[in-house]
Structures are given as structure tokens and as C-alpha cells.
Amino acid sequence: MTVELLLALGKSFLFVLAALVPILNPAATAPIFLGLTEGASPATRALLARRIARNMFFLMLGSMLVGSYVLDFFGISLPIVRVGGGMILAATAWRLLTTTHATVDSRTELAESFTPEMARRQAFYPLTFPISCGPGSIAAAITVGVSLQDNRLLISLARMGGGVLALLAVGLLLYLAFRYAQRLLRPLGEAGTVIFLRLSAFILLCLGVQIMWDGVSELVLGLLRAAATG
């Protein structure tokens, strides 16, 4: 029985890790983090990286364990979550895409105004949700949580334990990507970093539109099925 529990834990760990890392994609969101925290000191960025990783872990954990029950309780469907989250994601990406690059003087002003208190206020919205952990990630976590359930209590607990360990590993990856994002992008130079940030913002905009479109498509298909059966 112990071997079976360990196998269930290990398989669920690998399954959740493989399912969520490509969706969360910390390496791709790190440039967006840099763009939204322009002017912040390294210490403030380190504080933000810790808070975002912690927020992501608890948000994904809640989605994985009880997300489906919460949506059922409020009568909210996953397509609606995708539409709302996609709109927020697209709006944030558009703001990043249309902002002008800061000059030396404006960077100094930004550094003075981007206080640790401001960082705490922005750590969840928009830096955790929807930038680091969007509606697609939440929907994936809810789906993963449902698939980890088992009729046998011990197996179900072992699978959930593996899922929790995988979320911890993803949180660590997210922290490292955000904490050292500036160092990782330094070889590109200033001009290269600006181009990379704009490209990342455009991809994020497309992703937000895609998520929104997926939600709208599901809603329309649901209406067509209801009309066909009615």
C-alpha cells in the first residue's frame, strides 16, 4: 500500500508540473513583470517576486482543491471566467504596449514613487492575477484538481499531496524567474530589452484575446446546442 501511495504521489507531481508549467510559463511572464515594475528598486522587485510566488501558490491551490465547487456555488461557468479574465489580460497588455519608454529623469521619479507599500498593493492585481496566473491557469488548475480525485481516500490524498508539491516547485520557478529577470535580460542591452518587452506585451495581448475568444466560442456553442435540442 505504501508503494502505491508513493507512486500516486509521484505521478500526480509530474502530471501537475507538466500541466501547469507551460501555461504559467514564468520565463515568458518575467519580461512583463519587468515592464510593470519599471522604476522599482532591486529590493522592491525581490519583495514582489516573493509575494507573487506566494499569491500564485495559494490561488492555484485554492483553484485546484475547491475551485470547481466555488464556481458551482455561484453559478459561474468556466467560459465566463475565460471571457472576464481574457478582457483583463488584454487591457493590461495594451497598457504595456502603448506606454512610452522611460527617460533617465522619469526613471528616477519612478524609483522614488514605487515604494514597498505600492508594491504590496500591486502584488496581487495585476502582477499575480492576471499576469502571472490568469484565467487559463485557473481553469487548468480546476481541471487538474478534478482529475486528481479518487474514490479511495488515501490515494486521493496522495495525489493531492503530489499536486501541492508540484505547485511549490512552480512557485519556486516563478520566484527565480522574476527575482533575476533583469539579470537574465541584461545581455540583450537596453534597446534589445525594450524590443523584447514590447514583443512580450503583444504576445500577452494576443493571449488575452485568445482566452476571451475561447470563452465566447464555448458560450455560443452552448447556445447553439441548447437551440438545437430545444
**What's the pLDDT score for residue 230?**
65
- Cell numbers describing residue 48: 514582489
Q: What DSSP assignment string belongs to 17-51?
A: HHHHHHHH-HHHHHHHHHHHTTT--HHHHHHHHHH
* Residue 100: DSSP 8-state: P
Amino acid found at 37: T
DSSP state of 152: S
* Residue 59 grid cell: 490561488
Most confident of 21-25, 123-127, 134-138: 123-127
172-230 pLDDT per residue, tens: 999 999 999 888 777 767 667 677 777 877 887 887 788 788 889 989 998 888 888 86
Q: Do 147 and 78 meet the contact criterion of CB atoms below 8 Å apart?
A: no
The identity of residue 206, as a single letter, is: C
Above pLDDT 70, what percent of the chain? 89
- Cα gap 188→186, rounded to integer Å: 5
C-alpha cell at 60: 492555484
Rounded to 5 degrees, what angle do the CA atoms 121, 127, 130 make? 120
- Which one, of 221, 54, 24, 219, lies nearest residue 136 by Cα? 24
Residues 87-125: tens digit of each pLDDT: 877 887 787 778 765 444 444 444 445 667 777 778 888
What is the structure's pLDDT at 105?
42
Contact 94, 223 (CB under 8 A): no
pTM for this entry: 0.73
pLDDT given for residue 117 in this prediction:
73
Could you give the CA distance from residue 5 to residue 155 in angstroms, rounded to a whole number?
6
Model pLDDT, residue 157: 92
**Which residues touch 117 (CB under 8 Å, ≥6 apart)?**
none
Q: Looking at residues 122-130, what average pLDDT do you find? A: 85
- pLDDT of res. 110: 45
Return the residue matching grid coordinates 478534478: 146
The mean predicted confidence, pLDDT, of the chain is 82
